[in-house]
Amino acid sequence: MPQIPINDRSLTQETFSFPLIVHEVTRKTSVAPHFHRFFEISFYIGGCAWEIVDGSMILASRGMVVCKLPHRIHSTKTRAGNVYTKFNLMFDIDILLESERDSELKHFYSVKPGDDHPLFLLDENKTLQLEQSFREMVAEFNSESPFKKTFIRAKLMEILIIVARSRMEETKGDFVAPLNTPPIVKSNRRMTDILHYMNNHFVTDLTLGGLSRKFNISIPHISKMIKKTTGMNFSSYLNEMRIELACSLLVSTEISILEVSEESGYRSFKTFSRRFLQNKGMSPTKYRKYRAALANNDTNANYLDKSHKYI
């Protein structure tokens, strides 16, 4: 029976008072397919391994930065006899980049549904700079120093900016926010909590009425808040998250379409099929075949050759 990837539900705001985890890892064993609701950055500083994200294989080595969006299935596969060392940084991008001042940086790491995950290859100077920033963040994360959370958040901003600037210098272009990004509005703590709750419970029987009772806000008002912040109404935002998880399951596993429907939070297969068709313009079965055909026709699209250039 095909294995369903692990949903690491330990990575939540309820588990960690500060929604960020960072560590340096050296290993020679593979990591099984899994997903969680945190944004994840893997930064390789030694050795090499295959990073597999939504079914796409990336040969990662020193200087490679691989970003993994929330709720997307990913794993690591080692090459025979190879040991790799990387920093893993997992954080709640909606909470830690909630300020209006951070909107441009947050948009840089936003990806339109169906797009590839952000992937960056840094030169040696930038690699050394980023490595130092990560080491300082890890040391602070493991300490009990005063103002620890403020320092870590500052280091997060520094790391994200180093990678973004490196990418912009490489493309010699100015950053333009994705077209599907909703208008920027000032965030507030209550709205952040509502979206965070939705992101953690979207595969359950989530309703506007349930949100209204939990947060003690009227249904019309909470509906208006969600629309203003995300650019989508409650139903569209909920289905967007469910369909993106379904797409990840379709391309990363061999479980049946019915199981994909159930794992994505749909209690009705008919509703799932209709929502999927509306969102992707094709049925789940056709989508799986389409993505498989793309992978077969472009096997090496994300590989690196020995000179660390894209081929």
Domain of 150, CATH number, reads 2.60.120.280
Helix, strand, coil percent values for the chain (each to nearest 5) = 45, 20, 35
Please indicate, yes or no, whether residues 148 and 288 belong to a single structural domain of this protein. Answer: no
Mean pLDDT of 261-286: 93
Please indicate, yes or no, whether residues 242 and 110 belong to a single structural domain of this protein. Answer: no
Query: Token pair for residue 216?
Result: 């003690």
Quick one: pLDDT at residue 304? 37
Please indicate, yes or no, whether residues 165 and 205 belong to a single structural domain of this protein. Answer: no
DSSP bridge pairs for 42 = 66, 88
Please indicate, yes or no, whether residues 12 and 55 belong to a single structural domain of this protein. Answer: yes
Residue 215: phi and psi, rounded to 5, are -100, 5
Q: Where does a domain end: 179, 209, 229?
A: 179
Quick one: pLDDT at residue 187? 44
Please indicate, yes or no, whether residues 35 and 125 belong to a single structural domain of this protein. Answer: yes
Quick one: pLDDT at residue 117? 63
Please indicate, yes or no, whether residues 263 and 144 belong to a single structural domain of this protein. Answer: no
Look up the domain containing 55 and give its range. 6-179
Domains identified in the chain, total number? 2
Query: Rg of the chain's alpha carbons, rounded to an integer?
Result: 20
pTM of the model: 0.65
Mean pLDDT of 215-237: 88
Mean pLDDT of 73-96: 85
Quick one: pLDDT at residue 265? 92
Q: Where does a domain end: 113, 144, 179?
A: 179
Quick one: pLDDT at residue 210? 93
Please indicate, yes or no, whether residues 15 and 148 belong to a single structural domain of this protein. Answer: yes
Q: Is the pLDDT of residue 115 over 90?
A: no
Q: Where does a domain end: 116, 144, 179?
A: 179
Question: Pairing mode, if any, of strands 20-27 and 48-53?
Answer: unpaired
Query: Token pair for residue 311?
Result: 């081929």
Cα 85-91-94 angle, rounded to 5 deg: 150
CATH code at 249?
1.10.10.60
Digit-coded pLDDT (tens) for 116-160:
567 888 999 999 999 999 999 999 999 999 999 999 999 999 999
Average pLDDT along the chain: 80
Quick one: pLDDT at residue 305? 35
Please indicate, yes or no, whether residues 80 and 126 belong to a single structural domain of this protein. Answer: yes
Quick one: pLDDT at residue 172? 62
Q: Is the pLDDT of residue 163 over 80?
A: yes
Instruction: Say which residue the tokens 């947060």 belong to.
Output: 215
Please indicate, yes or no, whether residues 124 and 230 belong to a single structural domain of this protein. Answer: no
Quick one: pLDDT at residue 6? 57
Please indicate, yes or no, whether residues 82 and 20 belong to a single structural domain of this protein. Answer: yes
Tell me whether residue 310 is in a domain.
no
